[in-house]
Amino acid sequence: MSRTRRTNLVAGAALSVLAFAGLFPYLFMVVASVKDNEQFFASYWSPAWPLHLENYAAAWEQVSPYLFTSFVVAGLAIAGTLALAPASAFVFARYRFPGRNTLFALIAALLMVPSITSLIPLFVLMRDLGILDSRLVLIVPHITANTVFGIVVMRTYMAQLPEEIFEAARVDGAGGIRVFLAFMLPLARPVIGTVALMTVLGVWNDYFWPLLTVQTDAYRTIPAGLAFFANQNVQQWGPLFAGYVLASLPLVVLFTFLSKWFLAGIQGGIVSGK
Amino acid sequence: MISTKVRRRLPWGVYLVLLPTFALLAAFAYYPALNGMVHSLFEWRPGFESPFVGFENYLTMLGDDLWWASFRNIGIIFVWAVTLMWVLPLLAAELVMSLSSERLRFVFRTLLILPLAFPAVVNVLLWQFMYDPRDGVINSLLRAVGLDGLAGNWIGDPDTALVALMTIGFPWVASLPFLVFLSALQNVPAEIYQAAEVDGAGRLRRFWSIDLPMMFRDVKLLFVLAVISVLQYGMQAHIMTKGGPDNATQVPVLRMLDAAFLDTSWGYAATLGTVLFALTLAVSLVALALGRKAQA
């Protein structure tokens, strides 16, 4: 019994050190986000009063356009993905038709094309279409990438659902469209949620594409926008860290309330890889 | 009766459902990917006539010292990523599983992966601050303990810039490897541990004889993912160093983007992109083939 306790104590102490080391930059960020520059230098390692919440007001002014654009891009990318992926996945999972395997292989093959290696030709295409420096140019690649990923994971999920559920509906005279809308979509909610979260994570982590395709400041999504914001606020430590906090909040909220789906989204790479 | 059934099976509706998806993918996935490969054989001048140059761009690449230096750098990053960046997550996973209480396990697991809740760009920008020569955490700490002489310009010095980039996110426990190691350990049946205990196997013995073999398959997968992700490495380097100082942190992705957006050599950039894609594909296919063989 005491040996278990000793193991717990040693492991707990070591894990506390690791957890603290990993969280330290974020703790420092939150504490320093409410200091003015004088407090930043005077009490570098400790919290300081009074709190300067006006740092957040200053940061909000600059970061809120990036947040807004990120929400718009993520929202429309999710809408576009969900308009295409579930129906296609349903067809691949539940119908037999000539060319099914070939067509599916064509889609799955795209998982092996990293977005960065197609960045140059995709940029030229968007230039030829005349949609550089718009929100649309940011949305389209997310729809493409998540439709591919979505079809692959949703097909697997939909294929393993028991046929009896759908058989009963068909006997009652429901057509394919009704079976899809009334039975498949509600059943596929977990995997739809995972794909939606993957989309949000993609928007919040895609750095090069918005950096290169967009010049208008308000069209920047968080990654490129925040890097720009950091260059605009050199040595303004309080507002700088407040801006980082504001940019992080949406993902932190998602992580808090949907941690299971969030982690599934992060591990999506593995799911899609195999 | 039979004929109507056959007619109903003619799956026009099915193709109609797939049509919008394939139209989108044709325009924004297949076309650019193929177009990039084709234009790697051209002196690509978007908007103007682009002359065909055969394999000239590929010959240029063979003599491009910066391009090869960038592979040396991602080689170093890769070795670091599959050794140091795995050891601490592995240790953390073992420690979490050593805890006897389910609640403590949950608490520590949550605290350890909490950094994953933050955007990657915030992580990089915070580490950029950590390295700040004047006000950063690392130099402030060194000065606070009287080691002023060790304080350095971590990302401004060619000797330390690459190590500084690789140290981002230390101790790397909030990561995919940790999640994979932890779930692999959770999947080891309790009976095996009990049997090992009956046989008198110690903690270390258990690690070598049970945990590591049980994780082997996942480690192979992580290894492949590490190769693929290191070929695409770039965001951290672009934010912190732009490939500098003195090209000490040059990586293939940045070299490709510079070729297009700084030198406006779009054909050459398409060549570099095509080569990066071919390498990624080769790694994926080899991994797939090995996986098949292991299953058979």
Q: Where are the domains positioned within chain B?
A: 57-295
Give the residue on A whose Cα is nearest the Cα of B93.
Answer: A15
The pLDDT profile of chain A, 274 residues, written as one tens digit per residue, is: 577 888 889 999 999 999 999 999 999 999 999 999 989 998 889 898 899 999 999 999 999 999 999 999 999 999 999 999 999 999 999 888 899 999 999 999 998 888 899 999 999 999 999 999 999 999 999 999 999 999 999 999 999 888 888 888 888 887 888 888 988 999 999 899 989 998 999 999 999 999 999 999 999 999 999 999 999 988 899 999 999 999 999 999 998 888 877 777 777 654 443 3
Q: Which domains does chain A have, with CATH numbers?
A: 56-273 (1.10.3720.10)
Give the residue on B whose Cα is nearest the Cα of A89.
Answer: B18
Structure confidence by residue, pLDDT tens digits, B214-243: 888 888 888 888 999 999 999 999 999 998
Radius of gyration (C-alpha) of chain B in whole angstroms: 25
Structure confidence by residue, pLDDT tens digits, B64-74: 999 999 999 99
Residue B42: beta bridge partners? B52
Contact A18 B221 (CB under 8 A): no
- ipTM, two decimals, is 0.92
Residue B52: beta bridge partners? B42
Architecture of domain B57-295: Orthogonal Bundle (1.10)
Preferred mutation among A15, A81, A263 to probe B, highest tally of B CBs within 10 A: A15
Out of A12, A88, A270, whose CB is closest to B18?
A88
Structure confidence by residue, pLDDT tens digits, A98-152: 999 999 999 999 988 888 999 999 999 999 999 999 999 999 999 999 999 999 9
